[in-house]
């Protein structure tokens, strides 16, 4: 199957995944106030796998470790490690700032894709990403000092997620979307089972519902990301990753009743303008290419 068939459909799926990720971010920030990071990670992966069994009903042969490529294990390890550090960041930083740091994922993914997939990097795109990264620094301006060790700790997950995105891109080309999500959640469940050794707090019925909802959001994120990568190239999808920040701010205000700071507003404006200009540039280039072809 071609990895690029319907770019518009890929973009829509990417936006849906970003909105689900914003909801997942808010839910995780609430859970980290009461439960250990390792327990949250285990609940997320195990719940995601159980949902996949109910929704997709894969064969046992498809879940055999001999049938699962090394890219699933690579994605699983990188994603689990990145998620664990990302969850820990909520202990010291609000959701909008944690999400803002992750806005450098598109730049890292683009550069790594150019290195591993031979996808020709667009220098104009890279310039827009660098301007977006300046916006990220502005968003975190109120806490950004050399003593802000939690900010620099927060830079680790974006790099790990960028690498895992490439593994995700690789398997989404060869496997169907339901199989990708099921296998990934299966592998990540085994990876996080040792979390039981790091303490356990039995959730009350209400929190258990929140855990289940978190797992359902996780399945949705992986499902729509898989669809997105099946229909569009990495460099087309990455600019729309920035929409997750806008969704997080919206849910922050509506659910957590947290008003964004002036730094968040200024930095978010820089990120938004950078992405708007890039999209306008892409549209102009597409129209020019279409006119020359005609």
Q: What is the tens place of the pLDDT at every residue in 202-247?
A: 899 999 999 999 989 988 887 888 788 778 776 677 677 778 888 8
Instruction: State how far the Cα of 31 lies from the Cα of 90, in Å rounded to an integer.
Output: 10
- Asked, for residue 28, whether it belongs to a domain, the answer is yes
Percentage of the residues of the chain whose pLDDT score is greater than 90 = 8
**213 SS3 class:** helix
**What is the rounded average pLDDT of the residues 152-167?**
81
Beta carbons of 219 and 181 less than 8 angstroms apart: yes
Supply the pLDDT for residue 156.
87
Q: Which helix (H) or strand (E) holds 49?
A: helix 37-56
- For the beta carbon of residue 293, count every other beta carbon within 10 angstroms: 6
SS3 state at 6: coil
Token code pair at residue 52: 């996949």
Mean pLDDT, residues 4-9: 71
* Structural domain includes residue 168: yes
Question: What average pLDDT does range 124-143 have in this prediction?
Answer: 74
CA separation (Å) from 218 to 105, 160, 188, 275? Answer: 18, 18, 12, 26
32, pLDDT greater than 60 = yes
Q: Which tens digits make up the pLDDT trace of 35-89?
A: 988 889 888 888 888 888 888 777 666 667 666 777 778 888 888 899 889 888 8
Whether the per-residue pLDDT at 196 is higher than 70: the answer is yes
Residue 72: CB atoms within 10 Å: 22
Provide the pLDDT for residue 257. 78
Is there a domain that residue 271 lies in? no
Give the torsion sign (CA, 37, 38, 44, 47): negative
- Please choose, from the candidates 164, 157, 162, the residue with its C-alpha nearest in 3D space to the C-alpha of residue 76: 164
What one-character-per-residue DSSP string does 230-290 give? HHS-HHHHGGGGGHHHHHHHHHIIIII--PPPHHHHHHHHHHHHHHHHHHHHHHHHHHHHH
2 assigned to some structural domain:
no
Per-residue model confidence (pLDDT) at position 2: 44
Residue 222 lies in a domain: yes
Q: Is the pLDDT of residue 1 over 50?
A: no
CA separation for the pair 18, 225 (Å, rounded): 9
DSSP 75-133: HHHHHHHHHHHHHHHTTTS-HHHHHHHGGGHHHHHHHHHHHHS-PPP-HHHHHHHHHHH
When divided into structural domains, the chain yields a total of 1
For residue range 75-88, list pLDDT tens digits in order. 888 888 998 898 88
Residues 239-261: tens digit of each pLDDT: 777 788 888 888 888 887 777 77
Decide if 35 contacts 203 (C-beta within 8 A).
Answer: yes
Q: What's the confidence (pLDDT) of residue 143?
A: 56
Containing structural domain, residue 37: 7-121+145-259
- Residue of 223, 180, 183 whose CA lies nearest to 16: 223
For residue 127, tell me if it sits in a domain: no
pLDDT exceeds 80 at position 191: yes
């Amino acid at each position: 199957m071609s990895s690029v068939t319907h770019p518009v459909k890929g973009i829509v799926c990417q936006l849906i995944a970003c909105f689900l990720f914003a909801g997942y971010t808010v839910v995780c920030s609430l859970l980290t106030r009461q439960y250990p990071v390792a327990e949250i990670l285990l609940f997320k992966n195990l719940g995601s796998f159980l949902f996949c069994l109910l929704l997709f009903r894969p064969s046992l042969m498809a879940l055999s470790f001999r049938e699962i490529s090394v890219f699933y294990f690579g994605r699983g390890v990188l994603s689990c490690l990145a998620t664990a550090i990302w969850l820990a960041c909520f202990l010291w930083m609000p959701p909008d700032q944690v999400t803002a740091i992750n806005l450098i994922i598109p730049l890292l993914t683009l550069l790594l894709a150019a290195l591993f997939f031979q996808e020709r990097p667009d220098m104009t795109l890279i310039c827009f990403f660098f301007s977006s990264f300046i916006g990220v620094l502005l968003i975190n301006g109120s806490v950004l000092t050399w003593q802000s060790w939690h900010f620099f700790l927060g830079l680790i997950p974006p790099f790990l997620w960028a690498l895992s995105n490439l593994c995700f891109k690789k398997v989404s080309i060869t496997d169907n979307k339901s199989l990708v999500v099921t296998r990934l959640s299966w592998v990540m469940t085994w990876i996080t089972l040792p979390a039981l050794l790091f303490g356990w707090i039995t959730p009350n019925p209400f929190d258990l519902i929140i855990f289940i909802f978190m797992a359902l959001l996780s399945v949705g994120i992986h499902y729509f990301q898989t669809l997105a990568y099946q229909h569009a190239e990495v460099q087309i999808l990455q600019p729309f990753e920035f929409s997750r920040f806008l969704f997080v701010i919206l849910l922050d205000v509506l659910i957590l009743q947290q008003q964004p700071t002036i730094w968040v507003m200024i930095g978010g404006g820089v990120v938004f303008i950078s992405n708007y200009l890039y999209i306008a540039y892409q549209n102009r280039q597409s129209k020019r290419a279409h006119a020359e072809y005609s």
